[in-house]
Amino acid sequence: MARRKIALIGGGQIGGVLAQLCALRELGDVVLFDIVEGLPQGKTLDIAEAAPVDGFDVQVKGTNSYADIAGADVVIVTAGLPRKPGMSRDDLISVNSKIMTSVAEGIKQHAPNAFVIVISNPLDAMVTLCQRITGFPHNRVVGQAGVLDSARFAAFIAWELGVSVKDVSAVTLGGHGDDMVPLVRYTSVCGIPVMELLEQKYGAAKAAEVMAAMVKRTRGAGGEVVALLKTGSAFYSPASSAIAMAESFLKDSKRVLPTCAFLKGEFGVDGLYVGVPVVIGAGGAERVLQLKLNAEEQAMMDKSVKAVKDLVATLK
Ligand code: APR
């Protein structure tokens, strides 16, 4: 079987890590595209020269030409500005919409059969724009946010409880903004509801406080990294998260991953991209898995969905 091909649009911080992860995991040949001359070529040359050390047999190529993404099975988009301290993701909409418009046109023309994963922010709006411009079916255009938001939540829980991150199963819903919905009730450690363990440790009142702090930290986790870095936003964890989605598609694993997907009535939302649990396989975003929300969770979801709707409405 011929090797699979992964095109990465945007050769900045996330793009570079994506290229390296694709190579290390031998997911397929990699093309790294950027408008800055020399940047993708330099990064990919650097990665390729590590191949004899790491032992990966894939090609890693940098380019400034969309023609080179032809035949890509997966396209991951990180083109666009990252946040600076004090900015919200939504502040990026005007400049990143222009970038996404040109990127989506390039993908439409040169990789018409690809599964597209968008990472550029503001995520929910950028995925919407990418799908509108490519005209690809909704199951082939998704956004990465929920895998990362859930991973952050899981990490905080694992650190708090002193257990392996591997045994925490956490899920977040909604938009990739400050209103995202970490679902405490559906979060567990080896199947044990997380609140049960926190209550054993702290008693009910303090457990609720500790959880509230972790939920708050999860919502602001991207900003926490931005405030520390000062020159950009998170890049290792967003790259790992998108790779999990790409890998599930390429291997038809049917992993259930929190994904920014187009809803057609699920969760009471119609015609909008929002983060929900999705089965990702060879058919792209194959199926949305629904779960029952209580009144409080539904209210948080509604608030998050409204924020996404308002933002998407500002797209030209
Ligand atoms: N086409 C392709 N690439 C572009 C374009 C364009 N029209 N415009 C800008 N770029 C490239 C830049 O040259 C840069 O190399 O996008 C890259 C973005 O890289 P970084 O600035 O390092 O940003 P990064 O940290 O990778 O984040 C990218 O993902 O998480 C989001 O908020 C983040 O929107 C940001 C995006």
The complex's ipTM?
0.99
Is the C-beta atom of 9 inside 6 A of ligand 1?
yes
Residue 127: closest CA among 167, 96, 163? 96
Atom number of ligand 1 nearest to Cα 126: 34
146 CB within 6 A, ligand 1: no
Residue where one domain finishes, among candidates 99, 127, 143: 143
Q: Are residues 17 and 67 in the same domain?
A: yes
CATH number of the domain at 267, please: 3.90.110.10
Expressed as residue numbers, the domain containing 57 is 5-143
Residue reference for tokens 């992964």: 6
Domain identity same for 272 and 124: no
Q: Are residues 179 and 291 in the same domain?
A: yes
| Side-chain half-sphere CA neighbours of 161 within 13 A | 27
**Among 111, 128, 143, residue at a domain's last position:** 143
**Which residue, judged by its Cα, is nearest atom 35 of ligand 1?**
82
- Looking at the structure, do residues 125 and 242 belong to the same domain, yes or no? no
Peptide bond into 122 cis (omega under 30): yes
DSSP 82: P
- Please indicate, yes or no, whether residues 167 and 269 belong to a single structural domain of this protein: yes
CATH number at residue 21: 3.40.50.720
Let me know whether 159 and 116 are in one domain: no
CB 250 within 8 A of CB 28: yes
- Tell me how far apart the alpha carbons of residues 234 and 232 are, in angstroms, rounded to a whole number: 7
Q: For residues 272 and 151, give the distance between their C-alpha atoms in angstroms, rounded to a whole number.
A: 24
Give residue 316's pLDDT: 72
Q: Looking at the structure, do residues 106 and 208 belong to the same domain, yes or no? A: no
> Does residue 223 share a domain with residue 136?
no
Say what the pTM is: 0.98
From the CA of 76, how far away is ligand 1's center (Å)?
11
For ligand 1, atom 31: residue with the closest CA: 120
Same domain? For 251 and 118 the reply is no
Last-in-domain residue among 100, 118, 143: 143
Number of domains in the chain: 2
Do both 50 and 154 map to the same domain? Answer: no
Please give the positions annotated as active site.
176
Tokens 């979060």, located at residue = 187
66 lines ligand 1 (CB under 6 A): no
**Annotated binding-site ranges:** 10-15, 34, 83, 89, 96, 119-121, 152
pLDDT along the chain (316 residues), means of 10: 94 98 98 98 98 98 98 98 89 95 98 98 97 98 98 98 98 93 97 98 98 98 96 97 98 98 96 98 98 96 96 90
Do residue 139 and residue 151 come from a single domain? no
Which ligand 1 atom is nearest residue 36's CA? Answer: 13
Residues 224 and 125 in one domain: no
| Tokens at 274, concatenated | 């929002």
- Does ligand 1 lie within 6 Å of residue 311's CB atom? no
